[in-house]
């Protein structure tokens, strides 16, 4: 019996460093798989189909929307982006764990369709530090900086919709926490009790928890 993989949603306001955390987490844990999004935007140079994105045309994307084919999707500057449901579902049912790095709006949509996911909210160590990080991101005007900062401050209220909070003070420490959360979730009784109680023979083969 294969235990279902975990869908691990790593999310948080802009500037909290979730991208760096995911990259490091995936580098250190080769058994984790990053979810690949689908988009209608044109591939950039060096972008690889099925690795960076699945590239499709607008009609295909819209058709998939009608067939409830996305865990979440959004339209940004006339381009669609979405998380294909079947692609994720296939990995999960073959026992693979899937990492989904996504903004807060997207995470909340995923939660509606897949509440068994592990929803992790990344927080900055302080609002001061968040200011610095948003500023460092580049040549933004004071106005666009303030807009992003206020947005981040507001988004923190959504933390209560998540299962876990990880403060990204040091990448190494934060990634360690993400790894611990994944290990712990695989030990949760509500995820594995059926396999223990329905067939105690399972125990005879020592097939749990790994």
Tally of CB atoms within 10 A around 185:
16
Query: In the bound complex, what is the minimum distance in angstroms from residue 202's beta carbon to a second copy?
Result: 9
* Beta pairing class for 53-55 and 37-39: parallel
Q: Would you count residue 124 as binding a second copy (CB under 8 A)?
A: yes
d(CA 97, CA 93): 9
- Of 2 and 153, the one with the shorter C-beta distance to a second copy is 153
- Of 54 and 208, the one with the shorter C-beta distance to a second copy is 208
162-191 residues near a second copy, rule: CB under 8 A: 162-167, 169, 176-177, 179-181, 183-185, 187-189
Query: In the bound complex, what is the minimum distance in angstroms from residue 4's beta carbon to a second copy?
Result: 16
Tally of CB atoms within 10 A around 154:
11
Q: Would you count residue 4 as binding a second copy (CB under 8 A)?
A: no
Q: Which residues contact 97 (CB under 8 A, 6 or more apart)?
A: 5, 6, 7, 8, 31, 32, 33, 182
- Of 37 and 97, the one with the shorter C-beta distance to a second copy is 97
Q: Would you count residue 66 as binding a second copy (CB under 8 A)?
A: no
d(CA 195, CA 180): 22
- Of 2 and 196, the one with the shorter C-beta distance to a second copy is 196
Q: Would you count residue 152 as binding a second copy (CB under 8 A)?
A: no
d(CA 151, CA 142): 14
Paired tokens of 168: 């990204």
Contact set with a second copy (CB under 8 A): 120-121, 123-129, 153, 156-157, 159-160, 162-167, 169, 176-177, 179-181, 183-185, 187-189, 192-193, 196-197, 200, 203-206, 208-210
């Amino acid at each position: 019996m294969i235990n279902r993989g975990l869908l691990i949603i790593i999310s948080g306001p802009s500037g909290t460093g979730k991208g760096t955390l995911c990259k490091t987490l995936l580098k250190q844990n080769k058994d984790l798989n990053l979810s690949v999004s689908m988009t209608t935007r044109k591939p950039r140079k060096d972008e690889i189909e099925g690795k960076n994105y699945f590239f499709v045309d607008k009609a295909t994307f819209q058709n998939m929307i009608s067939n409830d084919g996305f865990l979440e999707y959004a339209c940004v500057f006339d381009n669609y982006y979405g998380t294909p449901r079947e692609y994720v579902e296939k990995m999960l049912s073959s026992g693979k764990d899937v990492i989904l790095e996504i903004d807060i709006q997207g995470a909340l949509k995923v939660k509606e369709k897949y509440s068994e996911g592990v929803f992790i909210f990344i927080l900055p160590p302080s609002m001061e530090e968040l200011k610095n990080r948003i500023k460092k991101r580049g040549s933004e005007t004071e106005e666009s900086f303030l807009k992003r900062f206020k947005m981040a401050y507001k988004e923190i209220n959504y933390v209560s919709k998540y299962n876990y909070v990880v403060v990204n003070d040091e990448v190494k420490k934060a990634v360690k926490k993400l790894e611990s959360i994944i290990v712990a979730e695989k030990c949760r009784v509500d995820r594995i009790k059926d396999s223990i109680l329905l067939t105690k023979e399972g125990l005879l083969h020592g097939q749990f928890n790994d």
